[in-house]
């Protein structure tokens, strides 16, 4: 799977069936990848980087998370394209509505994958996600002795 921005963009263009860059420009794809990376970082609980995106020197996205990144980037790119087409064609144009519906389905899939990633992080974490409760024997005795 992709290890830098150029490779991720190639995979994303293939997913979007736009290998000739006719529908999505480079800036839109970069921003879509950036937004998906931000969401993935939040799900992982740590800032993630993709080599060459925003001058990052290395990729810190785990191999298993790169598919999630691509689905999210596709969802953001599809939303962007749907808005762009709607602005050009005016309200009520069916292709834009269809694209928006597909974008929403991709986003729902992305959010589901992020939730699963977040849960996996909790399951494999060596520390509990909540703070530990300190039991103070003296406070416990006082609270049971004086119920007021």
The most confident of the ranges 23-27, 94-98, 124-128, 136-140 is 23-27
Counted residue by residue, the chain has a size of 148
C-alpha 117/C-alpha 64 separation (Å) is 10
C-alpha 27/C-alpha 82 separation (Å) is 16
Q: Which two tokens stand for residue 39?
A: 């969401």
> What is the reported pLDDT for 102?
83
Percent of the chain with pLDDT over 70: 77
**Mean pLDDT to the nearest integer, 128-135:** 56
**Mean pLDDT to the nearest integer, 20-25:** 90
Query: Hey, is 112 helix, strand or coil?
Result: helix
Write out pLDDT tens, residues 59-93: 999 998 999 999 999 999 998 988 888 777 665 55
Confidence bin at 57 (pLDDT 50/70/90): very high
Confidence bin at 119 (pLDDT 50/70/90): confident
pTM of the model: 0.74
> What is the reported pLDDT for 93?
58
C-alpha 36/C-alpha 32 separation (Å) is 6
> What is the reported pLDDT for 32?
97
Q: Which two tokens stand for residue 148?
A: 């007021």
C-alpha 135/C-alpha 120 separation (Å) is 29
C-alpha 119/C-alpha 16 separation (Å) is 28
Domain limits of the chain? 5-123
Q: Which two tokens stand for residue 123?
A: 């399951």
> What is the reported pLDDT for 98?
76
């Amino acid at each position: 799977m992709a290890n830098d921005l150029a490779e991720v963009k190639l995979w994303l263009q293939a997913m979007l069936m736009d290998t000739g860059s006719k529908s999505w420009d480079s800036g839109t794809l970069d921003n879509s990848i950036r937004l998906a990376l931000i969401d993935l970082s939040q799900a992982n609980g740590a800032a993630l980087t993709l080599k060459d995106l925003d001058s990052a020197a290395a990729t810190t996205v785990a191999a298993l998370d790169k598919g999630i990144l691509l689905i999210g980037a596709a969802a953001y790119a599809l939303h962007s394209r749907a808005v762009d087409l709607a602005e050009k064609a005016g309200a009520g144009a069916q292709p834009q509505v269809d694209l928006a519906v597909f974008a929403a389905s991709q986003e729902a899939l992305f959010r589901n994958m992020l939730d699963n990633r977040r849960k996996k992080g909790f399951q494999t974490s060596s520390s509990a996600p909540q703070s530990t409760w300190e039991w103070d024997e003296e406070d416990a005795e006082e609270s049971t002795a004086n119920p007021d």
